[in-house]
């Protein structure tokens, strides 16, 4: 869910749809989800991403800072009239359908039936009315929010300010040094800290640690520079693979045959695979609790000792083959 790859996917999808559209009004159904009592309007000039948060900039000088947290979703529905009109084009193709997915809707975030359900519904917290369509902010647990800020103050926001560089931008030396600052904490807790490295959530933390062959309960300070470097590269690889596959958007949630799918099944090696077979060694994936979070490991490939065993070494080289551009400084953020 709303981890960095999903948010990046939403950014790319929504950019094609709402940039240059006018935001005409906002309906707030849950005040907690939209705590700023100010009028907001204007034409969308751009969408930026800061870690897992999205910023929608308006030509009025206002910006919407959107964080989906655990269960947030953004679902865009074009106005019905527009779909009908455009479908009457000569070639019979819908311009909206070219820009969006599955019948004109574009949805991303926490995968659920809301992607295809009638909207608004009881999980709809905020409705953003655009000139050509409606953007629904749905959020089951109300942890997410949309804040209104002056565009000039976005980077001063307390959340944005604390964010560390993303794995693509961070140098291995810097990452290693940051681990030393939290040397007594579990490595998993440390890489989930957005002020250490930005963008990893529970899924990609588990996947990156597995692909690097590092046990999540290892103390951060016990990792060698080589291990820290490998972990950083694995984090890049699993997140890039997810971005390339579209994260948790409606396209991945609703399969071509119409059945619903879990986007995790496309790439997860350990996450939510407890009891299943490790794709690397054939052992059994286990679920444990680390830093208060459900954590998935292969106890054979991820040892608590700092020995670099053959299993972990060959494991990460497999992932290098998967992506193959570790060395590039691929920035997701513009």
> In 10 A of CB 305, how many CB atoms?
9
Whole-angstrom distance, CA of residue 269 vs CA of residue 6? 18
330 binds DNA per the rule CB under 7 A: no
The binder of DNA chosen from 62, 151, 248, 249 (CB under 7 A) = 248
Size of the site for DNA (CB under 7 A): 44
Binding status of residue 223 toward DNA by CB under 7 A: no
**Cβ-based nearer residue to DNA, 96 or 110:** 110
Residue closer to DNA (CB basis): 253 or 319? 253
Beta carbon nearer to DNA, 63 or 138 = 138
Residue 76 binds to DNA (criterion: CB under 7 A)? no
183 binds DNA (CB under 7 A): yes
Which of positions 268-327 make contact with DNA (CB under 7 A)? 287, 291-294
Nearer to DNA, 72 or 104 (CB): 72
List 79, 147, 182, 333, residue binding DNA (CB under 7 A)? 182
Helix (H) or strand (E) holding 4: helix 4-18
Catalytic positions are: 2-3, 52, 293
Residue 111's CB is within 10 A of a number of other CB atoms, namely 23
Q: Which range touches DNA (CB under 7 A), out of 11-19, 36-44, 94-102, 262-270? A: 262-270
User: Rounded distance, CA 122 to CA 142, Å?
Assistant: 12
Using CB under 7 A as the criterion, which residues of the chain lie in contact with DNA when the complex forms? 1-3, 6, 32, 51-53, 67, 69-70, 110-111, 122-123, 140-143, 158-159, 162, 181-186, 189, 192, 194, 201-203, 220, 248, 262-264, 287, 291-294
């Amino acid at each position: 869910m709303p981890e960095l790859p999903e948010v990046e996917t939403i950014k790319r999808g929504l950019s094609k749809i709402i940039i240059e559209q006018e935001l005409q009004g906002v309906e707030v159904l849950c005040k907690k989800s939209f705590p700023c009592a100010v009028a907001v309007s204007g034409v969308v000039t751009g969408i930026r991403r800061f870690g897992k948060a999205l910023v929608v900039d308006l030509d009025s000088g206002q910006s919407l800072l959107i964080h989906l947290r655990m269960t947030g979703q953004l679902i865009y529905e074009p106005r019905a009239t527009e779909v009908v009109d455009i479908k009457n084009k000569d070639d019979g193709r819908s311009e909206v359908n070219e820009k969006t997915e599955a019948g004109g809707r574009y949805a991303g975030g926490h995968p659920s039936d809301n992607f295809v359900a009638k909207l608004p519904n009881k999980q709809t917290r905020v409705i953003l009315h655009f000139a050509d369509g409606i953007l629904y902010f749905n959020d089951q647990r109300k942890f997410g929010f949309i804040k209104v800020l002056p565009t000039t103050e976005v980077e001063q926001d307390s959340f944005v300010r604390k964010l560390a560089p993303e794995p693509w931008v961070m140098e291995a030396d810097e990452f290693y040094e940051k681990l030393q600052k939290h040397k007594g904490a579990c490595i998993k807790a440390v890489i989930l800290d957005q002020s250490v490295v930005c963008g990893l959530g529970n899924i990609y933390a588990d996947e990156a640690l597995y692909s690097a062959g590092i046990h999540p309960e290892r103390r951060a300070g016990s990792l060698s520079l080589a291990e820290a470097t490998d972990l950083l590269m694995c984090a890049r690889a699993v997140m890039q693979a997810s971005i390339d596959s579209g994260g948790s958007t409606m396209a991945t949630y609703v399969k071509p045959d119409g059945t619903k799918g879990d986007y995790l099944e496309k790439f997860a090696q350990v996450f939510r695979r407890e009891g299943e077979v490790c794709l690397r060694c054939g052992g059994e994936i286990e679920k444990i609790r680390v830093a208060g979070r459900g954590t998935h490991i292969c106890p054979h490939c991820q040892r608590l000792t700092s020995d670099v065993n053959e299993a972990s070494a060959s494991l990460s080289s497999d992932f290098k083959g998967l992506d193959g551009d570790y060395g590039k400084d691929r920035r997701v953020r513009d």
